[in-house]
Amino acid sequence: MQIGDVIVFDKYEWRVLEIKNSTALIITEYIIDQRAYHNRSGDVTWAGCELREYLNGAFYDTFSEANRSRIIPVTNKNPDNQWYEANGGADTLDYIYLLSIEETVCHYFGDSSKNLENRSAKQRYWFQRKDENNNKRWSSMGGYIWWWWLRSPGRDNRRAVYIHGDGNIGIQGNGTFRYSSNTLHPSTGNNSGGIRPALWLKI
């Protein structure tokens, strides 16, 4: 197993992002579902959102007992939003989770940290459209390009950061509850964000 490999684990294809001490960080190669970040309006962080509860509960339970035994729980840091200073919330212990903005932007899909750290006066909602790493971050569901959630807060705690369909970083975030958009996924008729779960796997 090497970084960048696509493997099959349980029912899904996963891309290997990191290997460390006989464990591998993997993320689903494709968007596997659409869900709201949270199930009601109001401020929320990753620690208290419904999507985290689902991934570590009902979704985790869909894996076979043997495969669950290979999923390693990790403590995740949840930093504030770097542009808007929205609260990232408490550290969390997760079996299955979404990547953070730092993990996505600085480590696992090329290094675009310069765009995170050096916001220009013209940038309000997204990173630069011509970011050279955009094509490493876009993903699809059912053969259609779609946007997907990160766990980090957006410009406030009613929004969460997302990866736009073109791979750009939506650092202002989309609404965590009843996201308002007329753009619907062609096969589902749903406008909710996609999910690409990540986990540490015992090799």
Q: What is the pairing mode between strands 139-141 and 71-72?
A: unpaired
Segments of the chain with pLDDT less than 50 = none
pLDDT of residue 122: 66
pLDDT of residue 198: 98
CA angle, 24 as apex, 91 and 138 as ends, to 5°? 80
Tell me phi and psi for residue 105, to 5 degrees: -85, -35
pLDDT of residue 163: 94
**pLDDT tens, residue by residue, 93-151:** 999 999 999 999 999 999 988 878 777 666 666 666 678 899 999 999 999 999 999 99
| Exposure string over 23-37, b if 16+ CB within 10 A, otherwise e | bbbbbbbbbbbbbbb
**How far from the centroid of its chain's Cα atoms is residue 13's Cα?**
16
Length of the chain: 203
Q: What is the pairing mode between strands 159-163 and 169-175?
A: antiparallel
